[in-house]
Chains A and B, each alone.
Chain A
Amino acid sequence: MVPLSWYVGLSSALFLVGLVGVLVRRNTLVVLLCIEIMLNAVNVNFVAFSKYQHVIDAQILVFFVITVAAAEVAIGLGIIISLFRLKGSVNIDDFNILKL
């Protein structure tokens, strides 16, 4: 049986890949994908812990996370489309009217 630490290592690595991707990538669609990777890293964690704790709770939670992620992507793509209509670009550097 694969030890738990491997799963946690995998999910942490996935989470970091997503985190770094959100921070450094400039294409909004890729950023959206990176957020999905972060959420799926969480799912790996939940399933692994659930298996090792012998409780089913978290495997149910995974379905909720998948559903919420789908809703989030639907709204996110909608927002990106309306931004693209206004600016003709999906590059984050072009969205700079509001000063940070």
Chain B
Amino acid sequence: MSFSLVNILGTMPEIYLTFFGCVILILDTMIPSEKRSWLAYFTIASLLFAMIASYGLNGKGLPLYQGLYIIDPFSNFFKMIIYIAAIITILFSLPYLDREDIHIGEYYAFILFSTVGMMVMVSAGDLITLFLGIELMSLCFYVMVGLKRGSHRSVEASFKYFLLGAFSAAIFLFGISFLYGATGTETISGIAAFVANPGSLKPMILLGIVLTLVGFAFKISAAPFHMWTPDVYEGAPTVVTGFMSTASKIAAFGVFLRVFWVSFSADKIDWNILIVILSILSMLVGNLVALRQTNIKRMLAYSSIGHAGYASMALLQPNRESLFALMFYLFVYMFMTLGAFGIVLMLRKSGEEGEEISDLVGLHKRHPVAAFAMLVFMFSLAGIPPFGGFLAKFYVFFAVIHAGYAWLAVVGIIFAAIGAFYYLRIVMLMYMKDPESAVEFKSSSLGRLGLLLTAGMTVFLGVYPTPFVEYIKSSLAIFIP
């Protein structure tokens, strides 16, 4: 056993963010409350700093800490998405937190700590590390969902999320314990060797696969493990909802992919059927139930369940094409979903959040720019060209067809057509009707920057995706120690 400095250097981004998170907690007690907004700039600066540090490590396939932790282009790509999502979230949150009267310092520290949790997740080379990453992320989110302490809905959502999160963590751990019992190891690559030749222990391996699948499905909010999603998304402060629906889901997809493709790839026939069921159910629930929602946050929650269904189709066949499709999908999904939540959190109605769909009616007459941005996000979520969402769906469906599941791609396209209806209904209400309620659109310069970034990237990824396609193609390698 040796411990070299490389281990520390390789995990510097995580160490920086943990350190800066602690600094924020200390600064919060020291600086006067009217200067609290400086904490937001400090958080953005520390995220950018860690981003540069991560970029410096790009391209190096390294197993650190005896294979417990892996730095490879794949994990670096996911870390970049997570950094960008966290930065955009903070751009949105500054005026929002003031309006909602949320104690600021803790919030920024929790954003940083949960970011660290997600980074640990996507870099995990071992199921222990993976579990700790998931828990670090989830524990921060339980608190962030309940940050509006005076609001019944927020605290109740936090409680529901906590209960189901802890429940699913226990199920996930039970799965890990059976995998360990069968193989005698917890490293992701060590399990792979055993899954190829299970012998008489096959039932234990299968039990482990099913239970870990349940744990992951909960984290990516795929049906039938989606029950918490609409409630939690509705009750949580909208900035937190945006962060949760993008970053945490993307990190969960990253680790889902690594565990299933590296550890369980030898048993593909058995878990493929489970993923097919998962993805069809998610598309069904996500697209059909969203049709009858009146609250826009609930609608976006069901939309995110549907998108989990599309994205998990790309998990079926472990090859480069599917990997590329999934990474591109998550990249686009981050911008369009975060942007849609950004619009929702800027709508105000008599001192409250305007989160009913009726509040969007006639938005074009009052705030044409906001309505146009929402149109971009809705078209992209529906998968209409020339926006990023179209290309993302296109790549995924092609990967699915090449994986030999042409019928599944057809099912996906049918559900996408059904889903387009409720996205386009929003656009119709915004543009074709006259405004009814007195809804204001309160933006700040930072918030507008965030919207510009998300809407711009959503369009850009659909019109001229080449630079990003090149970048993602250079990050395809999954490192196996």
Contacts and interface: CB of A to CB of B under 8 A. Distances in A.
Contacts of A22: 163, 167
Per DSSP, chain B at the interface is: helix
Per DSSP, chain A at the interface is: helix
Given A38-B174, A87-B152, A95-B159, A100 B227 contact: yes
Interface stretch (B35-43, B175-183, B369-377, B448-456): B175-183
Nearest to A73: B166
A46 B235 contact: no
Interface residues of B, number: 40
Interface in B213-239: 227, 230-231, 234-235
Contacts of B180: 46, 49-50, 53, 57-58, 61
A79 B177 contact: no
Interface in A8-51: 8, 11, 15, 18, 22, 28, 31, 35, 38-39, 41-42, 45-46, 48-50
Interface in B183-212: 184-186
B156 A83 contact: yes
* Size category of the binding interface on chain A: 35 or more
B131 A68 contact: yes
Given A45-B174, A72-B139, A98-B231, A83 B181 contact: no
B160 to A, nearest CB: 7
A86 B170 contact: no
Interface of A: 8, 11, 15, 18, 22, 28, 31, 35, 38-39, 41-42, 45-46, 48-50, 53, 55, 57-58, 60-61, 64-65, 68, 71-72, 75-76, 78-80, 82-83, 86-87, 95, 97-100
Top 4 closest pairs, chain A to chain B, by CB = A38-B170, A49-B181, A45-B177, A53-B184
Given A42-B170, A58-B177, A95-B159, 5 more contacts: A22-B163, A38-B170, A42-B176, A95-B160, A98-B231
